[in-house]
Amino acid sequence: MDASRTTTNAALKLVLFAALILAPSVGQLFKIGQSETENRTLAPFPRLTALKEIKDLPRLAENYVNDRFGFRYQLVHLNSLVRYRLGLSSDKEVVIGNDGWLFYTADQILEQHTGANVFSHDELEHWVRQMEADRDWLAKRGAHLVILIAPDKNTIYPEKLPDYPRPPGAVTRFDQLAARLRSSDLDFVDPRAALLKAKERGLKVYFEGDSHWTQRGAFIAYSLVMDHVRKIFPNVPAKTIEDYDVTWGPPPASDLAYILTLDHDLHYEIEHFSLRDPPHELDARRTSRPGWGWRVVEVSTDLKDRPRLLVMGDSFVDYVLGPNFLYETFRDPVWTHHNLGMFDFNLVKEIKPDLVIVEFAERYLHAPLGMPLGTDESP
């Protein structure tokens, strides 16, 4: 009996071992457990176009199999979840801070946060000179320029990022730029103080699983921008908190949780701003322009007596600040990426805006602005 039981146990172990070994191959054969939502392009099936490329075949085949073996997504997700529970990140672009808060680490964000990556004197002056040249170029075409810097989450919630403390007296690129712009006549909006004040009142201006501000944070920035805009266009009314129903619920997306494949495991509550009156936005479409690699969002509104708006910004606008706020205030707004300052001035000539808002996330201040204007015309 004991010998028979031993044999049976050994056979079961062998079968289980074989099943575990063969499961990824079976899964790959039948496309089981392959993610359709990878945050990158998967390696393609290896194809050789010339005999000399045969030396690359083992590497190409390995990359293809590694990206598509059966149950890959489940294993990656399980690894990420276990590491998160241990306070560790499964992706180098995300850091897990206090209370499970997630922080983005790309674009030298943490180096900027600690003051290890700052402007040189020449870089800072170049930044200001180019924006002044852009301001003057726009003014010749009847457009007023407003500059907005969107703080990164770690700037507003540094206490949630204990592994990267800011040394006493450290100066950041944002600090340098804000100080320099006080001596400039550029129209500049710095929302840090207002966001910190709202945070002290218990309002959530950023949230745990995303790198962007919440709708509350975006509304605060919007209100500050409109304070500047009404000095130029006094008849343009700004949205107020009374224009919205504010409710709590899950966010539409959580980009950092998504990077960790934990967007279905980590649950958050944020404020949602819903317009009480019918929206002014009639239509929105995504288009492109020859020679410009970024998409262009063109919004049609019924506000035909308002100034026309062009926004050159990043995901802080496209993701939150535009809809419900900026797009509900101006005539036929247009958004495209700032491309680190290498603006599409041909788009300015095409749409003829009255107001141009240039928004940079703090994370993009590490990159010097591009060549002035990028057009065939000088400032």
> 27 pLDDT exceeds 50?
no
HSE of 29 in the Cβ direction (CA atoms, 13 Å)? Answer: 5
Q: Are 292 and 347 in contact (CB under 8 A)?
A: yes
pLDDT digits (tens, 9 = 90+) for 180-231: 999 999 999 999 999 999 999 999 999 999 999 999 999 999 999 999 999 9
Whole-number Å distance between alpha carbons of 40 and 252: 21
State the residue for tokens 């007023």.
144
Q: Is residue 231 part of a domain?
A: yes
**Are 216 and 358 within one domain?**
yes
What is the reported pLDDT for 376?
45
Residue 257 resides in a domain: yes
Q: At residue 193, what are phi and psi to the nearest 5 degrees? A: -60, -45
Name the residue with higher pLDDT: 146 or 7: 146
Same-domain pairing of 173 and 303: yes
Show the tokens assigned to 79.
Answer: 């690894």
Question: Would residue 152 count as lying in a domain?
Answer: yes
pLDDT tens for each residue of 132-175: 999 999 999 999 999 999 999 999 999 998 777 778 888 999 99
| pLDDT range class, residue 8, cuts 50, 70, 90 | low
Residues 146 and 80 in one domain: no
| pTM, entire model | 0.81
Contacts of residue 84, defined as CB under 8 A and 6 or more positions apart, other chains included, come to: 90, 96, 100, 260, 262, 265, 266
Residues 201 and 233 in one domain: yes
Q: Quick check: helix, strand or coil at residue 326? A: helix
Whether residue 48 is predicted with pLDDT greater than 80 in this model: the reply is no
Domain that holds residue 94: 2-100
pLDDT, mean over the chain: 85
48 and 160, same domain (yes or no): no
Q: Specify if 379 maps to a domain.
A: no
Judgement on whether residues 207 and 249 belong to the same structural domain of the protein: yes
- Identity of residue 26: V
Q: In this structure, how many other beta carbons lie within 10 angstroms of the beta carbon of residue 83?
A: 16
Handedness of CA 366, 372, 374, 379 (dihedral sign): positive
In a domain, 106, yes or no: no
Q: How many CB atoms lie within 10 A of CB 277?
A: 8
Q: Are residues 165 and 233 in the same domain?
A: yes
Task: Please give the structure tokens belonging to residue 55.
Answer: 């030396």
- Domain end point (choices 69, 100, 131): 100
Q: Which of 100, 135, 166 is the last residue of a domain?
A: 100
For residues 151 and 74, state if they share a domain. no
The answer to whether the beta carbons of residues 222 and 359 sit under 8 Å apart is: no
Residues 94 and 180 in one domain: no
Render the burial of 248-272: b for 16+ CB within 10 Å, e for the rest. eeebeebbbbbbbbbbeebebebbb
Do 47 and 88 sit in the same domain of this protein? yes
Residue 9 has pLDDT above 70, yes or no: no
Is 107 a member of any domain?
no
pLDDT band at 102 (very low <50, low <70, confident <90, very high): very high
Q: What is the mean pLDDT of residues 123-131?
A: 92
Q: What's the CA gap between 372 and 237, in Å, rounded?
A: 33
Q: Is 374 inside any structural domain?
A: no
Domain identity same for 326 and 250: yes
State the Cα torsion 71-73-78-81 to the nearest 10°.
-170
- The rounded percent of the chain whose pLDDT value lies above 90 is 62
Q: How many domains does the chain have?
A: 2
Among 68, 100, 132, identify where a domain stops: 100
- 313 assigned to some structural domain: yes
- If asked whether residues 209 and 245 sit together in one domain, one would say yes
